[in-house]
Structure 1
Amino acid sequence: MTAPLLFDPNAQAEARARARATGMFLQELACAEIIERLKAVNRQFKSVTIVTGFPESWSIAFPSAKLVPDEDLLELSPGQHDLVIHAMALHHCNDPIGQVVQCGRALKPDGLFMGVCFGGQTLTELRSALSIAETDLRGGLSPRITPMAEIRELGALLQRAGLALPVADSLKIPTSYCDIYHLMRDLRDMGETNIMTARQKTFTCKSLFDRAQEVFAAEFPSDGGRIACTFDLVFLSGWAPHASQPKALKPGSVTKSLQQALEEAKSSLGN
């Protein structure tokens, strides 16, 4: 039996079709952060592919890269690339593990995988305000915001995909909005509206959002009467295994404790 899809591909296509250039600021920020991380690697990549649902935002920074849609089955050939970037799409994948595995298989030995997506702290304020409002007015909850993975869970994808030297870090982006409607317009312009299969598909009355705005303003105020909202970007990196990479020591091979090493270092500095 096939497991039900968490995300609706038709709803995703419609959401992305409504996206606007003015809503691509987080895509652009993610792209700039990836470029800075690549500078630290200090290597020239000759065969780059980018998995993204927003190719326009990434093609400018990587004009020679192959752009691949973030579909369930990625258009990647095994062992063909020295850099694969999964760009702002893992949080809306029905099978994120499978996505990273496919990217890893597309790498040449010692090739680099990099990923960026929204993490678990994204829109926590909006999630809380909507939950309280819906409980107050309806006595229950509807799936309105994507359940996004925490950094530890996303980092574990790298190891499960068999990538070496895995690293995961996050960037919190505090923002403020005039009101909840301003925030929801931004999410629409980003192409990041609710695409969950189990989402409520009937019209939502304005009173729910008005109540959520009251909660938002009371619980998460910002300067000037605005409301505070957090976006959380998680960055992932891992390498296709290669003999030249550092290897972890075998269990039991350590000959001295950390305390002994520190005492020896302190002694040598004293001398």
Structure 2
Amino acid sequence: MTASPGPPQIFDSRRRAAKLARGKKTFAAADFLHVRAAENAVNSLEVILRDFTDAVDLSARPGPFARLLADSAAAGRVGAVHTPGDDAARAAPGAGPLGLPDQSQDLIVSLMSLHWANDLPGALAQIRRALRPDGLFLGALLGAGTLKELRAVLTEAELEVRGGAQARVSPFADGFDGAALLQRAGFALPVSDVDRLTVRYPDLYALVRDLRAMGETNALAGAVRPMSRAMLARAAELYAERFADPDGRIRATFEIVHLAGWAPHEGQQKPLPRGSAKVRLADALGVREWTGEED
């Protein structure tokens, strides 16, 4: 019997970990996306008035969440947050076993790491299994609109200079699929929200410096031909021509997909069965119902 193939290897986990390690010293100067994701997670915990005794943070950069949680109203309801493994292990979620016993955690957080998972549904399923019934998962990952400008100019510049182009910006999950991904992984009451922001830079080179500090530069699997100076210079020209404001600063789009889901529990709210409604929707809205059979 032939073993079924695993998920496609979209990302090189070793390359991703190396880039993350190189950016560690400069990360604090470019942590704004991580801070934004952590703020959303902490805000969610502040309005959920229950205790989370056992908690882990699977983020490759756990600092922003730990800092913001410590200063929040939710701090007293969340136990000591552990960060299992090292930065390299958390850099590529789903690459191996999660390392947490089933049903061992009340809260699991993963911020700005899951977009590097080769098997995102599998990584989410591992997280769900590690949660106790009625345990909470809070996640954030980059969405499909992220760096759309950079993707366009790098492709065109490489086509012009070399006559062919490689993928140099990661494929990101569509934010509108977030709730479906959670549901597929077995979460109850899934919630997904897309946060879009535009960041302005003096030029392409400043954007690349931030991406390097974040550890978010190209870690796609397979042989990657280095960018030449001519290619990068042409990409900078195209960026300035097409995506610059009147003051000359360029725009970079980022999407953060915020996720929240609960491990199933019998005491959770459940949708009513189909056909059980006692009031017609048209009556509730005070409108006429059209059946399609009117003259």
Compute the TM-score of the two structures, normalised by the length of structure 1: 0.91
The AA in structure 1 aligned to 2:177 is E
* CA–CA distance in structure 1, aligned partners of residues 243 and 16 of structure 2: 29
Deviations 1:4-51 (A, max 9, x none): 521111111210111122222221221112111221222222211111
* 2:75 counterpart residue number: none
The AA in structure 2 aligned to 1:239 is W
Paired residues of 1:169 and 1:236 also in contact (CA < 8 A) = yes
Question: Is 1:42 matched up with 2:35?
Answer: no
Percent of aligned pairs with the same amino acid: 38
Question: Is 1:67 matched up with 2:83?
Answer: yes
* CA–CA distance in structure 2, aligned partners of residues 53 and 226 of structure 1: 30
Deviations 1:147-203 (A, max 9, x none): 001112232210001111111001112111111111111100111110001351x33
Report the alpha carbon displacement of residue 257 of structure 1 after superposing the two structures with TM: 2.0
* 1:16 counterpart residue number: 20
Paired residues of 1:143 and 1:199 also in contact (CA < 8 A) = no
The AA in structure 2 aligned to 1:15 is K
* CA–CA distance in structure 1, aligned partners of residues 276 and 159 of structure 2: 57
Query: Which runs of no fewer than 5 residues in structure 1 stay unpaired?
Result: 265-271
* 1:230 counterpart residue number: 253
Question: Is 1:250 matched up with 2:254?
Answer: no
Paired residues of 1:123 and 1:231 also in contact (CA < 8 A) = yes
The AA in structure 2 aligned to 1:40 is V
Question: Is 1:56 matched up with 2:102?
Answer: no
The AA in structure 2 aligned to 1:17 is A
* CA–CA distance in structure 1, aligned partners of residues 174 and 168 of structure 2: 18
| RMSD, matched Cα | 1.8
* 1:214 counterpart residue number: 237
Which is worse superposed, 51-60 or 125-134? 51-60
Paired residues of 2:42 and 2:69 also in contact (CA < 8 A) = no
Paired residues of 2:198 and 2:253 also in contact (CA < 8 A) = yes
Compute the TM-score of the two structures, normalised by the length of structure 2: 0.84
The AA in structure 2 aligned to 1:33 is N
Query: Which runs of no fewer than 5 residues in structure 2 stay unpaired?
Result: 71-79, 288-295
Which is worse superposed, 89-98 or 14-23? 14-23
The AA in structure 1 aligned to 2:141 is C
* 1:268 counterpart residue number: none
Match of 1:78 among 88, 97, 102: 102
* CA–CA distance in structure 1, aligned partners of residues 269 and 258 of structure 2: 22
- Correspondences of 1:1-271 after superposition (within 5 Å): 1-19=5-23, 20=26, 21-62=28-69, 64-68=80-84, 69-70=89-90, 71=93, 72=95, 73-198=97-222, 200=224, 202-263=225-286
Paired residues of 1:144 and 1:199 also in contact (CA < 8 A) = no
